[in-house]
Amino acid sequence: MTNALANASSPHSICGTLTFLAAKSPPPVYRASVGGAEARLDISGDYEDRGVDVANARLETESFSIDRQGFELLPHETSVDDLFDAKQRTTVYEDECCELVMAATGASRAQCFDHTLRSSDPDRRAEMRVREPTSVIHNDYTPRSGPRRVRDLMGDEAEALLEKPFAIVNVWRPLRPVRSYPIAVCDARTVSPNDLVAAERQARDRIGELFMVRFNEKQRWFFFPDMRKSEVLLIKTFDSRDDGRARWCVHTALVSDAFPHDAPARESIETRVFAFF
């Protein structure tokens, strides 16, 4: 898309601190946080922070596609004024997200199945019972856990749906202009299978599996500065099609000294959507 927010004063890249799984880490286990002021990442394994150049995607000449790099920025207005309101999310926002994902991917059917609200402000997390930004690089699903999620949620239809291609898309939207902890995404074409390590994901109601990520100097990282509520970042977190297109996009909250220390807290919602083809 054309980036109206890009300007001559925007840096072409910033140095970000990204957290990778260490090369010789024991098998990691990811324990999902619950909402609240004390919400924080609980994960076993050994990790290393690295300074990485993260490119300003708004200033890139290449276009970004959910099937090529695994992510895509789109303008998208929502008619919901308060996305903390569960009723508005289920009666209005889910339909908006499904329509968006079908249009962007060519899917014949879409189904929202999860919302995660996050804030980097502990007081706000306590007030709204939401979670913290995730600051370790990951992808939400693996070839084992993606189909399992369909079986978990789609009931008697699941096996028939799994006979055809499907994807899982994260619709990531800020609730206010993003001045801190923006999402950093990695070009899927630059991630080697050897960079990915499956990790058990433990939550209150189920056991899942996700990918943690080792550092590789060939990885290319991007972020879209100053995202606002009228934009969404589509992040592909699973695709059953193994035909050369992006199957997933590893991502993380970006930490950098380039962001002002007194920047407003990040608030965002991510909505996970099945796309059936």
Distances in Å between the alpha carbon of 80 and those of 51, 94, 272?
A: 38, 10, 17
Looking at residue 187, its pLDDT comes to 98
Which tens digits make up the pLDDT trace of 73-114? Answer: 999 999 999 999 999 999 999 999 999 999 999 999 999 999
CB atoms within 10 A of CB 193: 5
Rounded Cα–Cα distance for residues 270 and 79 (Å)? 16
**Domain map (residue ranges) of the chain:** 29-276
Rounded Cα–Cα distance for residues 111 and 95 (Å)? 9
Which tens digits make up the pLDDT trace of 154-192? Answer: 999 999 999 999 999 999 999 999 999 999 999 999 999
The residue count for the chain: 277
Looking at residue 205, its pLDDT comes to 78
Kindly compute the dihedral angle of the four CA atoms of residues 244, 105, 70, 152, in this order, to the nearest 10 degrees: -90
Looking at residue 247, its pLDDT comes to 98
Spans of the chain, pLDDT less than 50: 1-8, 36-40
Looking at residue 235, its pLDDT comes to 98
Looking at residue 256, its pLDDT comes to 95
Structure tokens, 136: 């370790």
